[in-house]
Amino acid sequence: MKLLEINNGKAEFIVDGKNIKPENISRDHFLSMLTKIYRDKNNAFELPKEENLSSINNPVEREIVNSIIKKLQEFTKNVDNLRNEVESMFPRLD
């Protein structure tokens, strides 16, 4: 699952099947991306490499995208620990 597309020097996040410009990302969009990462136990999502981000023409847009991607990467690194904490605090009731 792709979270970001970069075409012709412009970036768009892919959120719930819609392409969203970085300056239009809302808290709900960001939450939706985090939720997908959290629920995807196969790590089937794709985060762009830093060299791909340098192809974004607009420096403000590049900085917005870079900040969001860093937060998504940080979350991705900690998602297994977060899942374990949540599951231990709230065990499933069968």
Q: How far apart are CA 35 and CA 51, in angstroms?
A: 26
Query: Is position 94 within any domain?
Result: no
Residues 68 and 53: their CA atoms lie apart, in Å, by 11
pLDDT in tens, 16-55: 999 999 999 999 999 999 999 998 888 777 888 777 888 9
Which of 67, 13, 84, 86 lies closest to 45 in space, CA to CA? 13
- What is the percent of the chain where pLDDT is above 70? 98
Please count the structural domains in the chain: 1
Any domain includes 21: yes
CA distance linking residue 22 with residue 83, whole number of Å: 28
pTM greater than 0.95 (yes/no): no
Segments forming the whole domain that contains residue 37: 4-89
How would you classify the pairing of strands 4-7 and 18-20? unpaired
